[in-house]
Chains A and B, each alone.
Chain A
């Protein structure tokens, strides 16, 4: 990479990062090239009908129905504790990983309820990948092994792993930084690089849907920018659902935005709309208060 290129990148990034006033969010969202749902052959996407969630007797999420069309990016926004992360985890059945968790409603992946009796949960998680809030590369594995770990763990046989390794790292925007050090341990990377490694790891099993739970909350602006680029790139080939506390980020990457809120009781989904509408002309007063920074 030449010096001019890198300085261009920095300028670009600064321009993007400077959009901080809520009123400008809509224009950020509007300026972006719109992806039209249904133009990709990616299945019919993901849909939830009346999803409720509990931890023990505590009702944390109430009646969320959302439709994630294939090949779109949807952002879930809302204040802490409104149930958006819990909702995200119901979409690949990570919710049940917590011992006291309970659930009602349907989550349809290509029209099939992933909670239907007899469904193999590991198959669901292969099709619906996840990137976590904190980068969590496997410490016992090298960078290369981390990327391919999904194949090993799910016992998938692949012949051309070198090609897959490179393409996953390319798509995660990490290839140039690590191509000469694939044998090093993942812990040797910076936080942002680790997170992109985790994205590459999720891509290796070729999921239809990628769930991202605040993937940039532990990262600096530069790494955040790189990951947002990655998300835009990935959206061409998969459905993405991203939880974020950063409204600029929602405006920058998402085609659709859903606003979640809890008034002390279980969290509800207040409103969902194309991102530019959420930030310019939301139909609910509470959404407007939130996106304009009047609370939350």
Chain B
């Protein structure tokens, strides 16, 4: 038996401690240089410092790589710096929005808001009075209604584009893409002018659902189309070769294989419309009272609740109420996106 000692696992391609220290000290140097630039030149403020810091940091790292290795490596590091900058710029508004909503919104959160509506309170009352139960219920009913209308239409559209591939597929694909750019207020006005004014003459939750559907259908159709295109053609052939009709192959093989993707399509569709304000304001009426019936009477919603508190209030309480509503809405959207990521990341089951 040969004697063998198992070597320690190593990562020879990693950065050594000395190199890391050198890079860190270079970054500190860049900070000092940026500070000097603020002092000596016309630059000022945090933004000026950030710009100067990025400039000097890229420069010193570029010089370090050039000296340690060669020009190609130096260019490589420069590209990394730009990618990092772009990432930071993207992140700033997101972090800023979320932190603002959380910092201002948590004051407007209290347990009673999930059990009360605003019939007994005005927006200027203390935050503890009233609540957003009616808005939460209204949002869920209207979004659910929109989903019931949009999912079949969106999925069938996607199936037309990917499975039937009829002669109208190209124009329809173009129209669906164009439709996803429709401004939300146009969707509201459309329902207002073709349904509310000539037919129902009443603002209610159903009208809100229909307006939201117009925005939701293109999102669901496009996402579902992409998910169905990921299903390999071999599976369709296998189904058809077993003696199945096209419809049986689609319903028995293709759609089940794309199930997790279709769940993602639904959740992205919901996230697209859940915060829509303009169409809701136009056609759902907006209410302060709890209303479970989408067919009759105005219906509240979270965006409407926020809008009303901001616009008709004027006190600290009203603002706290609005920020609280925003926080609830944001949490709802984040939960949905998290769910979408979780479901689409899982293996097709």
Q: Is the CB of B257 within 8 A of A150?
A: no
Q: Is the CB of B238 within 8 A of A132?
A: yes
Interface residues on B, range: 20 to 34
Given the known inter-chain contacts A136-B232, A138-B257, A140-B349, please indicate yes or no for A97 contacting B237, CB distance below 8 A: yes
**Which of A55-63, A64-72, A123-131, A260-268 lies on the face that meets chain B?**
A123-131
Of the candidates A129, A134, A155, the one whose C-beta lies within 8 Å of that of B241 is A129
Q: Is the CB of A125 within 8 A of B253?
A: no
**Which of B71-79, B243-251, B323-331 lies on the face that meets chain A?**
B243-251
Q: Is the CB of A150 within 8 A of B237?
A: no
Q: Which residue of B lies closest to A127 (CB)?
A: B243
- CA A56 to CA B242, docked complex, whole Å: 26
**When each residue 79-95 of chain A gets 1 if its CB lies under 8 Å from chain B and 0 otherwise, what string results?**
00000000000001010
Q: Is the CB of B238 within 8 A of A136?
A: yes
B80 to chain A, nearest CB (A): 37
- CA A295 to CA B14, docked complex, whole Å: 51
Q: Is the CB of B238 within 8 A of A155?
A: no
Whether, in the assembled complex, A153 has its beta carbon less than 8 Å from a beta carbon of chain B, the answer is: yes
- CA A152 to CA B252, docked complex, whole Å: 8
Given the known inter-chain contacts A122-B245, A149-B252, A154-B248, please indicate yes or no for A136 contacting B240, CB distance below 8 A: no
**When each residue 187-209 of chain A gets 1 if its CB lies under 8 Å from chain B and 0 otherwise, what string results?**
10000000000100110010000
Q: Scan residues 113-170 of chain A and give those whose CB is less than 8 A from a CB of chain B.
A: 122-123, 125-126, 129-130, 132, 134, 136, 138-141, 149-150, 152-155
**When each residue 139-176 of chain B gets 1 if its CB lies under 8 Å from chain A and 0 otherwise, what string results?**
00000000000000000000000000100000000000
Q: Which residue of A lies closest to B253 (CB)?
A: A138
Whether, in the assembled complex, B338 has its beta carbon less than 8 Å from a beta carbon of chain A, the answer is: no
Q: Across the interface, which residues of B come within 8 angstroms of A132, CB to CB?
A: 234, 237-238, 241
21 sampled A-B residue pairs with Cβ under 8 A: A97-B240, A122-B244, A122-B245, A125-B240, A125-B243, A126-B242, A129-B241, A132-B237, A132-B241, A136-B232, A136-B237, A138-B253, A140-B256, A140-B349, A150-B242, A150-B244, A153-B242, A153-B252, A154-B244, A187-B347, A205-B243
Give 8 nearest A-B pairs by CB, closest first. A153-B244, A126-B243, A140-B256, A150-B242, A154-B243, A136-B234, A130-B241, A125-B243
Name 19 extra pairs, CB < 8 A, besides A125-B242, A129-B242, A134-B234. A94-B237, A94-B240, A97-B240, A123-B243, A130-B241, A136-B238, A138-B235, A138-B238, A138-B239, A138-B257, A140-B253, A140-B257, A140-B349, A150-B242, A153-B243, A153-B249, A153-B252, A154-B248, A202-B242
Give the interface of B toward A (CB within 8 A).
165, 232, 234-235, 237-245, 248-249, 252-253, 256-257, 259, 347-349
Give the interface of A toward B (CB within 8 A).
92, 94, 97, 99, 122-123, 125-126, 129-130, 132, 134, 136, 138-141, 149-150, 152-155, 185, 187, 198, 201-202, 205
